[in-house]
Structure 1
Amino acid sequence: MTTLNRTGISHPVFRLLGIPGLEDQHIWISIPFFISYVTALFGNGLLIFTILTKRSLHGPMYLFLCMLAGADIVLSTTTVPQALAIFWFRAGEISLDLCITQLFFLHSTFVSESGILLVMAFDRYIAICYPLRYTTILTNSFIGKVGVTIFLRSYGTIFPIIFLARRLTFCKSTTLPNTGCKHIVLAHASCDDIRINIWYGFFVLMSTVVLDIVLVFISYVLILRTVFRMPSQDARHKALNTCGSHVCVIILFYGPGIFTTLTQRFGRHITPHVHVLLADVCILFPPMLNPIIYGVKTKQIRDQVAHMLFLKAK
């Protein structure tokens, strides 16, 4: 451990508290965490297996859904096991390097999910507004390039945070009041000027997630304009029904995130454990509910999963 001026340390070992103020309730809090994690692993794993093994599901919409399921598994695995270790074994110690690794994968996966939801909105836009050109635009080559672009954007925008976090020294308490390492939580434990960390975090948020929300909104405005111009009510209903699952997932992903951001910005009187719980909801619920939503609302996936389970039961 290197000692610096102002009694700062450059490579500390942090202690994650979990849910601050609710330490005596950790065992009970761990139950929904564990259930959500198991459900996310099983649901998204089954979704990926079903899509990859059934040639009838190798269309663009399902391949994007497969990407989303993969990102959900990474998002859950990056955070929930660490939280369960704190709840069950009070194993909250984590080195600076592991802390930075965790926050890197957490933030980059979150940005990736936002990008995937954007391209899924684009998929629905092409399917409804330009149905005759759907297969010529959304080719396998195009989907592959989109996947690589999402990966490069998420990792590229979050990668500088590694250096912004590693430059920090810590002369304050190395106790982090959270269930996992997050960039701003780590920065606030530093004794350095963290304005560049705050402004870069704001830049990442605006250039990725907020931009994605705006583009998704524009996509659905164009979709609705096309739908309401359709002469047949059945055609309108069918078109809107194909967007139902995606709209539910969008609300589930962005809704809690926006609410959490607003409470952190304006809810200074709210107790710390509420902020931590709200942030955890953003990570817990989408990976758990996304495969359920698509499994229930998408007939092709529902039929394939039922067929697989029926054959296994036989």
Structure 2
Amino acid sequence: MLSYFARRLMVMIPTLLVISLAVFVIIQLPPGDYLETHIAELAAQGETVDSARIAFLREQYGLDRPIIEQYWLWLFDMLRGDLGYSFEFELPVSDVIGERFWFTAVLAFATTLFTYVVSFPIGIYSAVRQYSVGDYAATFFGYFGLAMPNFLFALLLLYYANVWFGLSIGGLMDPQYIDAPWSLGKTLSIINHLWIPMIVIGTAGTAAMIRRLRANMLDELQKQYVVTARAKGLSPVKAILKYPLRMSLNHAIADIGMILPAMISGSALVAVVMDLPTNGPLLLRSLQSQDMYLAGAFLMFEATLVVIGVFISDVLLAMLDPRIRLGGGATK
């Protein structure tokens, strides 16, 4: 098992290198760069351009060098913890991201926890009580969650919370805590505001997982070993949880590699609608303004989440399911 872990870790290194090259190519695809766009905007407004500062920034960040050399400079700077300079905000990228990174991580963790905590009991009940009222209700919830766009769900909640209760549920904290230092009041305010975006963002993932878990459980419950266990008098709870549920978890665990980045990227529009101080709106803004280092940092962050999530799911699958052969071939 340890050798398998080591091999999977070693595969992550070239994977991240290839991803970094793809990210750099993507942020370089639009013609020109932020400085050229900025110069054109200033000229259109009739303002003067500080050519000395523009030349200094080009030289300092290697924008006057060949593309391949720019890539290596960007890559080695990231490995040293230097994410680059945000031209739009005129600050280091790490300072621009600031608290947004932690807000995004907390929201993603809470949404993931919500997805698994809600979907597992409903999926199991829906499979065990097939075609019952609860099963039909879970099916309706699943179709609703899959069909309803997250941003539209957010708009509906914002509207009806204001109309029915006179509440403003936008943002991730009360206005007086936005620029305030961390305190117990600020933490409690974030917790009070967290549950609404958590439900909005997690609804689609929860609905999809309920449907998959229900289908896998129904398949396992029809197999001969479950019928035999019940015939021998095994308790219903143990007959469901010990083997059928365990065999049905493979797809749920395999989804870990995609849930976190999908929630972060999929929550961008929700964050714009609900005015959340997360990475999504800033990523959209950096792509629109061609702020290459800021956009590259966000894209690499999501790519790293995918790679780490896939590694975690592979390890958990190897530990959970003995049918998985770690060495690539079956040994008897």
Normalising by structure 1, we get a TM-score of 0.32
- TM-score for both structures, normalised by structure 2: 0.31
Larger Rg: 2
